[in-house]
Amino acid sequence: AVGWVEVVKIGRTHLQDATPLTVGQEWSGWATQLRDARHRLETALNAVHSLAAGGTAVGTGLNAPTGFGEEIAAKLTELTGLPLRTAPNKFAAQGSLDGMVVVSAGLRGVAVALMKIANDMRWLASGPRAGLHELKLPANEPGSSIMPGKVNPTQQEAMVMVCLQVIGEDSIVASAGAQGNFELNAMRPIIINNVLHSARILGDACDKLREFSVAGTELDQQKVNEYVGRSLMLVTALSPHIGYDKASAIAHKADNEGTTLREAALALGVSADEFDRIIDPRKMVGDPRRDLGLVTTGNGGALPGGGG
């Protein structure tokens, strides 16, 4: 994202052309989405730091020595380095597994973010001649046994499948979490199995996506520039100056007649000087360096930004 911070591209909403942004801004959105999902997962882990040990049969602590729960938590904290503590209410800790449900939901949140990013990448890499092809993904293996030269987004497809698996396992965890009867939830094995499996395959998929795809992904600058030059949505910058209706008429005229946006604007009364002054894609993307936290102060220090 940093290398492409000022490369202007066309944005897309509803799968249709939209106003421009930079490639760096788009990737910063992905990075921030992942960072936030990770933060939510880390916060969710606090929910499993409370231990039910010491509650014995139904949470009353019958037959357990005084302070047993506290001693167990202290010893496990010493062994693991985790901030473990005895649950203040053993009845809730034994009758439910809500903490694991929360952690599973955090993993699902990571999967949702990763699926969006993986799908964006494979759509942007579609082609090479009849798709978007803004991104060029590394060819890790032959894409087809019948079509020579084909490059498939296999790492992104693998990530999507992993994310679907995690979302499915979270559904199991949620259902099992609701199966606590009276003073015990006996569904702990299936909950633990699914949470640990989800965490493992998500981590593995992230490693593989980074190593075999993201690290070798290239930008097709020619395609990116071509889409910016052909976009009708640049007319959005004219709206404050000539009104929405006239700007819309210009876009429709260019589309219907197969002309450039500039030709249509001039035909409908916009001067060449006004068009060239206003329709500058680089002026429509805000401050991409600030968005990625790359703006520096006078003494060379970086100012904090909103991107990853």
Domain ends where: 203, 220, 237? 220
- Tell whether 268 is covered by a domain: no
Same domain as 151, residue 113: yes
Pairing relationship of beta strands 8-13 and 16-22 according to DSSP bridges:
antiparallel
Closest CA to 180 of 59, 94, 53, 100: 94
Contacts of 59 (CB under 8 A, 6+ apart): 52, 89, 90, 91, 93, 94, 95, 183
Contact (CB, 8 A) for 17 and 90: no
pLDDT of residue 290: 86
pLDDT of residue 25: 95
Pairing relationship of beta strands 135-136 and 85-86 according to DSSP bridges:
unpaired
Burial class (CB in 10 A: 0-12, 13-18, 19+), 78: exposed
- Tell whether 130 is covered by a domain: yes
Catalytic annotation, pick one of 144, 171, 175, 271: 144
Same domain as 34, residue 152: yes
Is there a catalytic annotation at residue 14? Answer: yes
CATH code of 187's domain: 1.20.200.10
- Tell whether 255 is covered by a domain: no
Same domain as 78, residue 167: no
Same domain as 107, residue 63: no
Domain ends where: 220, 249, 266? 220
Same domain as 106, residue 193: yes
- Tell whether 244 is covered by a domain: no
Secondary structure of 283-306 in the HEC alphabet?
A: HHCCCHHHHCCCCECCCCCECCCC
Same domain as 157, residue 71: no
pLDDT of residue 252: 97
Question: 């499993």: which residue's tokens?
Answer: 48
Domains identified in the chain, total number: 2
- Tell whether 288 is covered by a domain: no
Contact (CB, 8 A) for 31 and 116: no
Where helices occur in the chain by DSSP H, the ranges are 23-44, 68-80, 90-95, 98-124, 154-177, 188-212, 221-230, 239-242, 244-257, 261-267, 272-278, 288-291
Same domain as 117, residue 165: yes
Backbone angles phi, psi at 60, to 5 degrees: -85, -20
Same domain as 206, residue 153: yes
Same domain as 44, residue 57: no
Same domain as 60, residue 117: no
Point out which residues pair with 51 in neighbouring strands.
86
Contact (CB, 8 A) for 51 and 69: yes
- Tell whether 301 is covered by a domain: no
Closest CA to 88 of 73, 106, 110, 108: 73
Q: Rounded distance, CA 289 to CA 24, Å?
A: 9
Tell me which residue range forms the domain holding 78.
53-86
Domain ends where: 205, 220, 235? 220
Q: Rounded distance, CA 276 to CA 20, Å?
A: 16
- Tens of pLDDT, residue by residue, the chain (308 residues): 567 999 999 999 999 999 999 999 999 999 999 999 999 999 999 999 999 999 999 999 999 999 999 999 999 999 999 999 999 999 999 999 999 999 999 999 999 999 999 999 999 999 999 999 999 999 988 878 899 889 999 999 999 999 999 999 999 999 999 999 999 999 999 999 999 999 999 999 999 999 999 999 999 999 999 999 999 999 999 999 999 999 999 999 999 999 999 999 999 999 999 999 999 999 999 998 888 876 544 444 433 333 33
pLDDT of residue 295: 53
Same domain as 141, residue 40: yes
Point out which residues pair with 20 in neighbouring strands.
10
Q: Rounded distance, CA 225 to CA 211, Å?
A: 28
